[in-house]
Amino acid sequence: MENKRNKKILVILLLLVISSCYSLVFFRNFETIYSTGDLSFHLSRIKGLSSIFSSPINYTTFNNSGYGVNFFYPYVTFFPAVIIFWITQNLILSYVLYVWLLNVVTIFVSFYYSKKILNKVNTAFLFSCIYTFSAYRTVDIYHRSAIAEAIAITAILPVLYYAYQIIFYKKNQQKELAISMSFLIYSHVLSTLICCSIIFVFIIIHIVIDQLSVNDLFNLVKRMIKSILITLVLTMYLWLPMIEQMVYQKINRPSETNLHTRSLSISDSFIGALNNDLTTYTIGFVGIIALVLPLTTLKYLNKKERIIYYSSILTWLITTSFFPWSLLQNTPINLIQFPWRLLVIQTIFGSLILAIVFAKKFNDKKNRASYFLGAIILLLILSIATKSNYSQKILSFPGHILVDEETIESYTTVGMDYFLYDYAPKDSLPLNEHISKHEVKIGETWEEGHYKAKSSSIIFDVFSNDNQKVTLPIYSYLGTEATVNGKLIDSSINANGLVTVPVVFGENRIVITTKNTLLSVIAAFFSISGYILVIIKYKNNRLRTDILYSGRK
């Protein structure tokens, strides 16, 4: 018993050290970050969410525009970064520490669930390292700074595990699936859609191959509906306020892309992977090994292992231009924007089969520990080499940014025009130029605005030569309120998606705030209550199972 306990402690310590080393390879400096993509967006989110309990909108971020990103972009699983920011008051340090925490959580979650799947500690240990170090995940975190997708890469594992158990093994794990799915939804909506597509494929395969009876199909549908209903309650805090805002006014959705042109050719994908180039969206060098190495042991793989291997090949090909993406351009599938987003699924299959094949090829008990240790050291060396190469390429990469103490204010406040169009009121889009310049429309004339932004409010001082309407460069969402000279405006203040208020002759002080709607408060209550009830129910079931098990003993 003592020996078993010591082994568990050793595994925990090793996973902690390995994930920390991986973090340090890419973030050695807590004061400067080189990146592209969404880094400034997510740093702004951390800053904006720091005042979420006083207002759903933070007016000191996103060019002081009153940008309502929190109504539409999930943030619950990102909130630990905000807690770190409350403690450190340092955005860069908060982000770096959160990424470290995410890497630690990822390696433990992937170890826990792969151990359930593989029933082998060594193989699960290797899988967790391969998955955490995987090229696409590394690109998501360190190149694209797509931290929401990176969180989803962690959350998707338990979702697929519990869905598989329910579909193929008839397990009653609806609550576990619902909780896991809620974490995924609270991380990244597009990844949720991808995951739901895979679950749908699971169901179709099960129906066709296993030739389900009507009764079995009915029970499966019943279990899935139960999971869906629980998930809807748990995530009500996200989707209900979002729908409320979309009913109130038309919201600009994220931009569409051409799926075919966004997909890489097979040759480009393969070459990018061989180079382990973080500026391309590929499976990486380890991913290539995962495609090739199983060929040497194919005849020794069982049916499930072969399915995993073939799935890794198929999901890789789907992300390339080999797949006819142009046929899906005008379908809801175009919501994913980039075909290479499906690499999250390929990474799961590729990491699984590589860990399985490696364990089969190096199964000598005497030297097994050395082989596995050597594989992990090679992963670290590859990461170091990749980082070194990336540090050179990023300097000439279009759109790269350097965030440090001097530039962080511009990247979280002033220079945020790029992100202001997604989730903005559609009617405001023709006025983007005035919004970015902070111009105020007095009567029919646009003039330079004079304002002071605070976390939960923004104040404009406007001189008017008549009693007339004034339009401010501030987005107006449901819950946005305005006072003019201390008097609350009772009538609608939304015109063309912007705050528009009546003013009087002379000096006017206009204060804009946004409050949570009653429906959003109710949604939060139901979601929190749902989590409490599900956890209590889960604990009671576990206690009942333990009592029955001890009675049999």
Q: What are the E-state strand segments in 8-145?
A: 33-35
Query: Per-residue pLDDT averaged across 164-191, rounded?
Result: 96
Three-state SS at 507: strand
The whole-number pLDDT of residue 38 equals 87
pLDDT tens across 526-544, in order? 999 999 999 998 888 777 7
Q: What is the pLDDT of residue 335?
A: 87
Distance between CA atoms of residues 286 and 353, nearest Å: 12
* Domain-ending residue, one of 355, 382, 403: 403
Does the residue 542 lie in any domain? no
506 within domain boundaries: yes
Kindly report the CA angle at 380 between 379 and 385, in degrees rounded to 5?
100
pLDDT digits (tens, 9 = 90+) for 140-177: 999 999 999 999 999 999 999 999 999 999 999 999 99
Q: What pLDDT sits at residue 320?
A: 95
Could you tell me if 96 and 138 lie in one domain? Answer: yes
Half-sphere exposure in the Cβ direction for 313 (13 Å, CA): 10
Residue 64 lies in a domain: yes
Residues 321 and 177 in one domain: yes
Work out the average pLDDT over 229-246.
Answer: 98
Q: What is the mean pLDDT of residues 369-391?
A: 93
pLDDT in tens, 24-71: 999 878 888 888 768 999 999 999 999 999 999 999 999 999 999 999
CA distances from 89 to 63, 71, 86, 415, 417 (A): 20, 24, 6, 21, 24
- At a CB cut-off of 8 Å and minimum separation 6, what does 75 contact? 45, 49, 52, 186
Question: Are 465 and 388 within one domain?
Answer: no
- Whether residue 416 lies inside any domain: the answer is no
Q: Is residue 525 part of a domain?
A: no
Number of domains in the chain: 2
CA distance linking residue 221 with residue 242, whole number of Å:
28
Asked if residue 291 and residue 162 are part of one domain, the reply reads yes
φ and ψ of 490, to 5 deg = -80, -30
Both tokens of residue 152? 């989803």
**Domain identity same for 102 and 235:** yes
**145 and 36 Cβ atoms separated by less than 8 Å:** yes
What is the reported pLDDT for 428? Answer: 96
- Other C-beta atoms closer than 10 Å to the C-beta of 161 total 19
Burial class (CB in 10 A: 0-12, 13-18, 19+), 510: buried
Same domain, 371 and 509: no
Does some domain include residue 533? no
Q: Tell me how far CA of residue 373 lies from CA of 3, 7, 20, 125, 495, in angstroms.
A: 20, 15, 16, 10, 63
Q: What is the mean pLDDT of residues 372-391?
A: 93
Return mean pLDDT, the chain.
93
**Residues 221 and 265 placed together within one structural domain of the fold:** yes
Query: Tell me, what's the pLDDT at 491?
Result: 81
Dist. CA 507–CA 131, nearest whole Å: 61
Q: Which residues contact 357 (CB under 8 A, 6 or more apart)?
A: 293, 294, 296, 297, 301
Task: Tell me: do 372 and 454 sit in the same domain.
Answer: no
User: What pLDDT is attached to residue 1?
Assistant: 64
Q: How many CB atoms lie within 10 A of CB 205?
A: 13
Q: Indicate whether 442 belongs to any domain.
A: yes
Instruction: Give burial (CB, 10 Å; 0-12/13-18/19+) of 97.
Output: buried
Percent of the chain's residues with pLDDT above 90: 79
Nearest to 39 by CA among 526, 408, 468: 408
Confidence of residue 417 (pLDDT cuts 50, 70, 90): low
Given a cut of 90, whether residue 188 has pLDDT beyond it is: yes
pTM: 0.94
Whether 56 is in a domain gets the answer yes
Helix residue ranges per DSSP H, 134-173 = 135-138, 147-169
322 pLDDT tier (thresholds 50, 70, 90): very high
- Answer yes or no: do 90 and 202 share one domain: yes
Q: Are 89 and 95 in contact (CB under 8 A)?
A: no
- pLDDT over 80 (residue 553): no
Q: Which domain holds residue 74?
A: 2-403
Do 450 and 397 share a structural domain?
no
CATH of the domain at 438: 2.60.40
One domain, residues 343 and 466: no
Q: Are residues 382 and 459 in the same domain?
A: no
